[in-house]
Amino acid sequence: MTVRPRAQHLGMVGCRVCGLVVSAPLQSDQRSFCPRCRSELQPRFAGGSARAWAFWLAALIFYVPANLLPVMDIRVLGGAEHAATILGGVVDLWRDGSYGVALVVFVASVLIPTVKYLALAFLLLTVRHANGWARRARARLYRWLEAVGYWSMLDVVVVGLLVSLVQFQALGEIQPRAGILFFGMSVVLTMLATQSFDARLIWDGEGDDTV
């Protein structure tokens, strides 16, 4: 089985920003820049996966208060004051009979973040410790993470909208609570973690395991 040449083996780099292919010196202590767009050329991201791990951990830490603390406080005339958490919001929708919307919010706010933490950890661990298998599937998993991750911002937008719209003093008011801030930060941090993962690492050492 022949292995397709990788840019790194040929002493080349594809610029991440403008796509230009450049022959660049490979000394790791020397920084080189794209002659066309002046972005830094990185055959592999500097520092390996350290940045991705750092963002991943920070996101996970923020994710705890994001789920434990209420994200908003709903007060409507004739109803009791009601503090809603992320998961509580899904339950409320379900109880109101809006099953479809409950499902959408559940997927965006609970399922995607959870799967994302696990999948990213899985990718980070396998490129380091067990890189020789299912490269194509793992590459696809990473592209999927990149594509769906930002839908988790849904709840941040919803709470922002509800708070802006329901300001009727005595009749009804929705107030934001700290949970949504943690939730938003955790989503942003997971997006940064995903961006900091170098998908090219999945394909490294390919020649070694096929011979």
Q: Please report, as residue ranges, which positions from 109 to 128 form the binding site for other proteins (by CB under 8 A).
A: none
Buried b (16+ CB within 10 A) or exposed e, 170-188: eeebbebbebbbbbbbbbb
Residue span binding other proteins (CB under 8 A) among the ranges 60-68, 112-120, 122-130, 173-181: 173-181
Distance CA 115, CA 111 (A): 6
132 binds other proteins (CB under 8 A): no
Least distance to other proteins from the beta carbon of 203, Å?
4
Kindly list the distances between the CA atom of residue 84 and the CA atoms of 43, 71, 146, 198, in Å, as whole numbers in the listed order: 46, 6, 29, 37
Residues 45-74 that bind other proteins (CB under 8 A): none
209 binds other proteins (CB under 8 A): no
105 binds other proteins (CB under 8 A): yes
Options 1, 27, 28, 79; binder of other proteins; rule CB under 8 A: 79
Options 23, 50, 132, 209; binder of other proteins; rule CB under 8 A: 23
Angle formed at CA 61 by CA 122 and CA 91, multiple of 5 degrees: 90
Judged by CB, which is closer to other proteins: 53, or 183? Answer: 183
Would you state the torsion angle of the CA atoms of residues 177, 150, 129, 14, taken in this order, to the nearest 10 degrees? -140
Distance CA 115, CA 136 (A): 19
101 binds other proteins (CB under 8 A): yes
202 binds other proteins (CB under 8 A): yes
Residue span binding other proteins (CB under 8 A) among the ranges 14-22, 48-56, 60-68, 120-128: 14-22
DSSP 8-state class, residue 84: E
